[in-house]
Amino acid sequence: MKKVVAFLTIILSMIMLVSCGEDRSYTIDKVSIFAYITESGTINVRERYTYSFDGSFDGLTRDIQSSTSDFNAYLLPSHDLESIDDADDVQQLSTELENHEYKIYTKSQDETKTVLYTYEIHGSIEKYKDIGKLHYSFFNKDNQTDINDLMIAIVLPESVNMDDLHIFLREEGNGSIEEYTNALVYTNDLLPAKEDSYMTFLFPSSLLSEMDITENESMLAQTLEEENDWQNRATHLTERFSTLKIILMMLVVFIIFITSYNIYIHPIRKREDYDEATLIQLFENTDLFFIEYIESLFLQLNDKAVISALFSLKTRGIIRIEKVSSNKGKTESTMRFTWIDHSKEIDEADQYLQDWLFTEGSDGVKRFALEEIIDDETEAVKKRKKKGKEFESQIKEWKKLVLKRDSYQHVRHPYQLYKWISMLFVLISSSVFYYFITIDLLTPTEQLGLKITIGLSTLIAIIFSRNKFVLFFYYVLIATLSILYFSMYSAGVWVVVFYFITLIASLSIPAYYWTDEVAPIKQAINKASELMREQKYPVGTDTTIIENRLLHAIVLNQGKKYAKQINQEEIMQKLKVNSVMLANTDFVLDSIRDMSIYSSSGDGGSSSSGGSSSGGGGAGAF
């Protein structure tokens, strides 16, 4: 009973701590902003906020992404004031700027408080031959708090004919604008958190008499066309998204059907199945280095493949592998490979490997140690790079000779339909992406950039339509761009799902299939890897066979599993006496796994830079 009570007490305490951890809140009840455009193109801003605090706070925040100066904050008296000049008891507050965010220090505890911010905005107005242009948002999606009873007045230096004023509002909310001869007034009962409200205000450039011209060209017609295009997109966006959603559903069904049908008719389904014993025998009778080759990514041998080539020589009885003391002193021991049988026939690749790595000693025996090709961090960088270049040059020539082997030629056939299917999927996906560009709420610059991006990426994907690695990055790219730039209504979510399904479909259909000779070997490799992973692969009692099986396991990245399995066999305790290799399985595995072959490449660096956008961010408290 005591344990139950103690348990309940702990749970209740945790619940109370969680519930009390954020036992404070605040609201922004009213905001009045007056922005006065000057003849020099700066904007003098006065922002009046009324906050209600529930709990204890240390201060306020105001995020402004534009270039600003002379930011000041004032605590206003409890009675209603529109200006700091209306009273003598106005208190100036301490402020601090950090990454476009101003921190205003004023402690608050369960109270309502009114503050005034004043500052100047620079660089947010553009002047052309015919118009001045302000494209600005005092609050954007960085704003974390709902703003109630919002009013923003943007005032011109003097009154003009209203026909010369053009105002456009970009937002999803319920804000409205009233126009006057010298100002525009935006009002909104509620601007929700993380919603922006961009205003474009066009007025005669003659009002900016003291400002240098931004570009000496007329921009009114182009700007009106861009804004009208945006308004047209906004008006029909929901309707077009609804239509697109239906189209996407139909395309998903079409792609799933095409994929399923091609998997059904694919030649890979016609391969013969073999029993386990036959597959194991086939696996062990296959040259170990050939296994490395057909298991390599894109049939491209990496530099460490030279170890598998040495293992192949070992399984053919041409070389011996043993553990010896290190000559470099970096480690206590290393692996040494000794050429023991010169009578067996070898090809050009094996001969090159012998001439390259093995050195004849005073006793007439050719041998070399693994540490001779392992990168030594204690050596000078210049020396390491020189060795790396020599090694890469030699291994490059060796790989060429390997790939000349008859058995390494044409190990798989291309599935002819795959190229056309992947091209079709790419064209469908790029068409959907392009349609989004034409209907969504994007700026002309964003539209142009996305059109260029989708054009180039589609061209690359079509050229490399058989390369699944390229296709993967293509679909990841367009899905990421969709999330970043497109409105995520229901159709927006559907388009990301559509890209994901199309990607899976492209990866599901095999682009190639193994030849009749190689297909059974590939099946045998898969079965052997499965058995080794489950520690069910045969062990045996012959030392040479077990050693070779261990080497096969290492090539399949199952060396640790198989070593654990053979170490559990009782007979192994006797066999280890006659096998240095089996007696030191941990050493063999660690030597291969931790090996870092010489490389001529050097370290690189990266740098990044960023720019700032124009407009306000958010208002909050801390």
Q: How far apart are CA 506 and CA 508, in angstroms?
A: 6
Question: In this predicted structure, what is the pLDDT of residue 354?
Answer: 92
CB 344 within 8 A of CB 304: no
Structure tokens at 21: 């951890």
CB 456 within 8 A of CB 464: no
Question: In this predicted structure, what is the pLDDT of residue 21?
Answer: 47
Question: In this predicted structure, what is the pLDDT of residue 3?
Answer: 45
Helix, coil or strand: residue 570: coil
Question: In this predicted structure, what is the pLDDT of residue 20?
Answer: 47
pLDDT tens-digit series, residues 65-84? 888 888 999 998 865 545 54
Question: In this predicted structure, what is the pLDDT of residue 410?
Answer: 87
Question: In this predicted structure, what is the pLDDT of residue 492?
Answer: 64
Task: Locate the DSSP E strands across 144-284.
Answer: 147-155, 166-170, 176-179, 183-191, 198-204
Give the DSSP H/E element, type plus range, for residue 526.
helix 518-533
Question: In this predicted structure, what is the pLDDT of residue 291?
Answer: 92
Cα of first residue to Cα of last residue in the chain, in angstroms, is: 44
Q: Which residues contact 68 (CB under 8 A, 6 or more apart)?
A: 119, 120, 121, 122
CB 587 within 8 A of CB 370: no
pLDDT tens-digit series, residues 69-122? 889 999 988 655 455 455 456 788 888 888 878 888 988 888 898 999 999 988
Low-confidence ranges of the chain (pLDDT < 50): 1-7, 15, 17-21, 81, 84, 87, 600-613
Bridge-based pairing state of the strands 512-514 and 412-414: antiparallel
Helix, coil or strand: residue 68: strand
